[in-house]
Amino acid sequence: MVSVVRTADPDDFLLNYSITESQMALRTSALILNTFDDLEKDVIKAMRSRIACPLYTIGLLLTFSKHESKGEDKSILTSLWKEENECLAWLDKQQFMSVLYVNFGSVAVLTLDQLNEFAWGLANSHKPFIWITRRDLMMGEAAILSQEFMDEIKDRGLIANWCNQEHVLSHASVGGFLTHSGWNSILEAICNGVPVICWPCLGEQPTNCRYACTEWGFGMEIDNNVKREEVEDKVRMLMEGTKGKEMRTKIMKWKQIAEKAIKPGGSSYENLNALVREVLFKNYENN
């Protein structure tokens, strides 16, 4: 369940904020969701049966953007961190689908023990990887990785502060994604057909992880009390095992379904047209 409701305190700020925002959302002229009907069919059906306002699923927005750009780079920067372009140059030198991409997003923080367990799990897997370690990734101070670790992974690992995640995930050499399971990251994984290892931290991430692993079939979870042995095992399973091949097959199917949804006649395509026609134009005419 989402972390904000896992509290016994009725005065918890995030709990009450979520209640207030949810109630306000139901009083709007429409709800717009960055998902597509086939991905969350049962939930969307239940929502439509219980709310009065129209609900429009128009995702995946990233897939829409890639489809409309027709190969041109029209990406919009949404991060305050400076992206390090050497990530792509490094990926160009790697073998097809051989690299694990590791990024815990812009909010999650690790303890020193968690940082070290992930670091040595990655090192011991002996798989090439890119790890995004933004400066505030570790609680209280900048993420610090030991020189021993850096020496161990110097020929197969790249540590960077930030990158263009869409460009990395769409690169041919990337074969897996170790993620905090934020919704944007899950959608970007689907859009690019990259299976995931999930380490959810807060908010809706446990729910996203649960769906990726049990409902959609393209994820596996690492326990919150992370241990290097489990990290090594899961990375090997994803990158070279039968389980990883099964996950890759399933996420490629979801990628195809997502692409179908944004084409003429698809659910997201038609919902976007309806949104423009029934909500935006209508409100414009009324004003």
Give the containing element (helix H, strand E) for 196.
Answer: strand 196-198
- Answer for the pair 226, 115: CB distance below 8 angstroms, yes or no: no
pLDDT in tens, 165-184: 999 999 999 999 999 999 99
Give the containing element (helix H, strand E) for 158.
Answer: strand 157-160
Reference 164, options 236, 86, 253; nearest CA is: 86
Task: Look over the chain and give the mean of its residue pLDDT values, rounded to a whole number.
Answer: 90
Q: How confident is the model at residue 240 (pLDDT cuts 50, 70, 90)?
A: very high
**Averaged pLDDT for residues 5-23:** 91
**Averaged pLDDT for residues 62-88:** 63
Domains along the chain with CATH numbers: 13-67+263-280 (no CATH), 85-259 (3.40.50.2000)
Q: What is the pLDDT of residue 29?
A: 83
Q: How confident is the model at residue 72 (pLDDT cuts 50, 70, 90)?
A: low
Q: What is the pLDDT of residue 37?
A: 96
- Answer for the pair 179, 205: CB distance below 8 angstroms, yes or no: no
**Averaged pLDDT for residues 252-259:** 97
pLDDT in tens, 225-235: 999 999 999 99
